[in-house]
Amino acid sequence: MRILVVEDDKSLGKYIVDGLKQAGHNPDIAYDGLEGLGLATSESYDVLIIDRMLPKLDGLAVIQALRASKKNTPVLVLSSLGKVEERVAGLRAGGDDYLAKPFSFDELLARAEALSRRNVHEAEKVRLEVADLEMNLITREVKRAGKAIDLQNREFRLLEYLMRRPGQVVTRTMLLEGVWDFHFDPQTNLIDAQMSKLRNKIDKGFDKPLIHTIRGAGYKIAV
């Protein structure tokens, strides 16, 4: 497993890197946010381990920049800031897991390996299905009951987000962050308008609607 460690504490960074090597992995290390962002965007890694507080570019800013550039490499956030609100901030910035300092190396290793396995499973998933609705993530073809449906790029991303969470209520905030990469609410009918267009393409002409509005909560896709 190829891992990038972004940690400005050199003794801690060496400790992590040495432990990863002993566990049979191939780690690289960067000592500031800018160097870490450069490596993470130019190289291919299975997992990124990123400290929250870094010189030159904060760890959360690194993660946000990666997600904005469509880099979906799993990120384990390390931080001495262990309060619930700090963990939430790390996850909302695009982190996949959060480990507070001080930590056990065995726990860090187990979490990194779990993130890598999860990423592999996601990569292997090339087809999504909900009832008679099918999506091919490679060819970007969408069909319902065998009938091809032509979607614009944003409509495709919106539908993919829903289909990856069948039966789950997704909120406006989740959609804004997951589909539009907004970390604020622009206070417009952006989502409602886009969802209306998507509904016309997915549900119009079929007996059973798949996209449902959950009043006061959000949306979900289900039979």
pLDDT of 115-151, one tens digit each? Answer: 887 765 555 567 889 999 999 987 889 999 999 999 9
Report the C-alpha gap between 143 and 185 in whole angstroms: 32
Superfamily holding 2-124:
Response regulator (3.40.50.2300)
For the entire predicted model, the pTM comes to: 0.55
Q: Is the pLDDT of residue 109 over 90?
A: yes
How far apart (Å, rounded) are the C-alpha atoms in residues 89 and 24? 32
Single-letter code of the amino acid located at 157: R
- Residue for token digits 């262990």? 82
For residues 43 and 11, is the Cβ–Cβ distance under 8 A?
no
Q: Average the pLDDT over each of 26-40, 114-128, 141-155, 197-211 and give the range with the smallest value.
A: 114-128
**Residue 122: Cβ within 10 Å count:** 11
Residue 20 φ/ψ region, left for φ over 0, alpha for ψ in the -120 to 50 degree band, beta for the rest: alpha
Residues above pLDDT 70, as percent of the chain: 96
Contact 5, 54 (CB under 8 A): no
In DSSP terms, 65 is beta-bridged to none
Residues 156, 117: Cα–Cα separation, whole Å: 26
Decide if domain 127-221 falls under CATH 1.10.10.10: yes
CA distances from 40 to 31, 43, 49, 99, 179 (A): 13, 6, 10, 20, 22
| Helix/strand/coil percentages in the chain, nearest 5 | 40, 20, 35
Burial status of residue 92 (CB atoms within 10 A of its CB: 0-12, 13-18, 19 or more): middle
Q: What is the pLDDT of residues 36-77, one digit of tens each?
A: 999 999 888 989 999 999 999 999 999 999 988 888 889 999
State the DSSP code for 57.
Answer: S
Residue with tokens 């909900």: 130
Domain with CATH 3.40.50.2300 in the chain: 2-124
